[in-house]
């Protein structure tokens, strides 16, 4: 029996590994071993996603917790190396671009254990983003690179990655979305938010990236944008712990609290959050995965960044890059509220069959 270690550490990882674990369990020749690094360690960002996505309890939890970038990567790498030496897996599977992804890739590579990277080849070309560094280094170490959109094929070819290592399999996030649509539709989050007032037209806001929340200047600029947006529609903001911490640090709680029709709530689980997104007029976000989910759900998406590693969501999907440009956001909201948003389509192979493609490739692989 082959032993595959599957690594998870943060919210995006949980969503990506859920369909893969479910698929691998169909094959008696493989023993999937789930390692949770503990990068996201509180209930809202970890356990609630395991519950919503029916992910089994981790076989191993490293319990790393929060730390600065380099320190966290070092801690995860050292702890994961001990796991590898004990378990002696045939393969390590990592997903996405979080610190756990790179740290565990480095450990596997150092011990000459085969490495597979789900969501390989994505590039923002912005080296100020830690995620961009994580993506590039992980791809360079990987033996199997599973690509979610066609831009990834171009990027990996331009970087000289051998084509024999690269597989265009589609987007595993969409596997999770489609398989959980029943739970998403059954969510009762509207009753919690709107009580007896009935569901109003609303937009959804998410912000957590350092470029947006780690400076007082950026946060004050966002306040101006939100005041403008909330003149026309209610905004629901499940506030990320990082954003909440920074708002407190800069003593801006009262400023955010004074924005009319901005409804700040606690972080949500997978099903509740996507229920909100599915029925929203639009999403304003700086997240990567939400750009993809909004595209499949046909919900207009305004990405509050200057770049995206998921260009298919802009070229083909519902996404537009607006940064923190108040004028661009005002113009986009005008089109959305007049039902004049751009036409979109779902990118190739975003068909909820990605996990099966990955499993078939790995089961045939020579892992010696």
For residue 367, the model assigns a pLDDT of 83
Give the per-residue pLDDT at 197.
66
Instruction: Give the residue ranges of DSSP H helices in the chain.
Output: 11-24, 47-52, 69-87, 99-110, 130-141, 150-158, 172-179, 181-186, 189-194, 210-213, 216-229, 241-249, 253-257, 270-278, 289-297, 312-315, 326-337, 354-364
Active site residue 117: no
User: Each residue of 102-157: pLDDT tens digit?
Assistant: 999 999 999 999 999 999 999 999 999 999 999 999 999 999 999 999 999 999 99
What number is the average pLDDT over the span 204-217?
95
235-272 tens-digit pLDDT: 999 999 899 999 999 999 999 999 989 999 999 999 99
Q: Is residue 268 a contact partner of residue 189, using CB atoms and an 8 Å limit?
A: yes
Burial (Cβ within 10 Å: 0-12, 13-18, ≥19) of residue 313: buried
- Measure the N-to-C terminal CA separation of the chain; round to a whole number of Å: 14
**Domain chopping of the chain, boundaries:** 2-170+350-364, 186-337
Instruction: Please check whether residue 116 is in contact with residue 93, taking contact to mean a CB–CB distance below 8 angstroms.
Output: yes
186-337: in CATH 3.40.50.2000: yes
Helices of type H across 172-215:
172-179, 181-186, 189-194, 210-213
> Which pLDDT band holds residue 200 (cuts at 50, 70, 90)?
confident
* Helix/strand/coil for 121: coil
Kindly indicate whether the domain formed by 2-170+350-364 is annotated with CATH number 3.90.650.10. Answer: no
Its pTM stands at 0.96
Q: How many CB atoms lie within 10 A of CB 360?
A: 13
Does 2-170+350-364 match 186-337 in CATH topology?
yes
Q: Is the dihedral of CA 134, 74, 21, 368 positive or negative?
A: positive
What is the predicted pLDDT for the residue at 48?
84
pLDDT-based confidence at residue 196 (cuts at 50, 70, 90): low
On the question of pLDDT at 297 being above 70, the answer is: yes
Per the prediction, the chain carries an average pLDDT of 95
Q: What is the DSSP string of 218-276?
A: HHHHHHHHHHHHTTTSEEEEE--HHHHHHHHHTT-HHHHHTSTTEEEE----HHHHHHH
3-state secondary structure of 87: helix
| pLDDT tens per residue, range 264-282 | 999 999 999 999 999 999 9
- Taking residue 354's Cβ as centre, other Cβ atoms within 10 Å add up to 26
From the list 36, 208, 240, 275, the catalytic residue is: 208
CA angle 243, 69, 87 (to 5 degrees): 115
């Amino acid at each position: 029996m082959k032993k595959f270690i599957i690594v998870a550490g943060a919210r995006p990882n949980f969503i990506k590994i859920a369909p893969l674990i479910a698929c691998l369990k169909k094959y008696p020749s493989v023993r999937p071993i789930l390692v949770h690094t503990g990068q996201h360690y509180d209930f809202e960002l970890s356990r609630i996603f395991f519950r919503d996505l029916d992910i089994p309890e981790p076989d191993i939890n490293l319990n790393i917790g929060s730390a600065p970038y380099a320190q966290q990567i070092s801690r995860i790498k050292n702890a994961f190396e001990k796991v590898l030496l004990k378990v002696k897996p045939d393969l390590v599977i990592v997903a996405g671009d979080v610190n756990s992804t790179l740290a565990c890739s480095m450990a596997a590579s150092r011990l000459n254990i085969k490495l597979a990277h789900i969501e390989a080849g994505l590039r923002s070309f912005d080296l100020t983003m830690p995620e961009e560094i994580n993506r590039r280094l992980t791809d360079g170490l990987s033996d199997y690179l599973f690509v979610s959109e066609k831009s990834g094929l171009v990027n990996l070819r331009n970087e000289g990655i051998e084509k024999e290592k690269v597989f265009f399999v589609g987007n595993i996030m969409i596997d999770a979305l489609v398989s959980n649509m029943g739970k998403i539709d059954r969510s009762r989050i509207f009753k919690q938010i709107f009580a007896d007032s009935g569901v109003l037209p609303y937009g959804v806001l998410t912000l957590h990236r350092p470029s947006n929340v780690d400076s007082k200047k950026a946060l004050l600029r966002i306040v101006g944008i939100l005041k403008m947006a909330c003149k026309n529609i209610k905004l629901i903001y499940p506030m990320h712990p990082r954003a909440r911490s920074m708002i407190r640090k800069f003593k801006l709680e009262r400023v955010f609290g004074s924005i009319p029709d901005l409804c700040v709530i606690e972080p949500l689980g997978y099903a509740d959050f996507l229920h909100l997104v599915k029925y929203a007029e639009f999403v304003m976000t700086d997240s990567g995965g939400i750009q993809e989910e909004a595209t499949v759900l046909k919900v207009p998406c305004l990405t509050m960044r200057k770049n995206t590693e998921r260009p298919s969501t802009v070229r083909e999907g519902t996404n537009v890059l607006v940064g923190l440009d108040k004028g661009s956001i005002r113009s986009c909201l005008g089109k959305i509220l007049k039902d004049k948003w751009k036409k979109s389509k779902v990118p190739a192979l975003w068909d909820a069959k990605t996990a099966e493609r990955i499993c078939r490739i790995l089961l045939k692989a020579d892992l010696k």
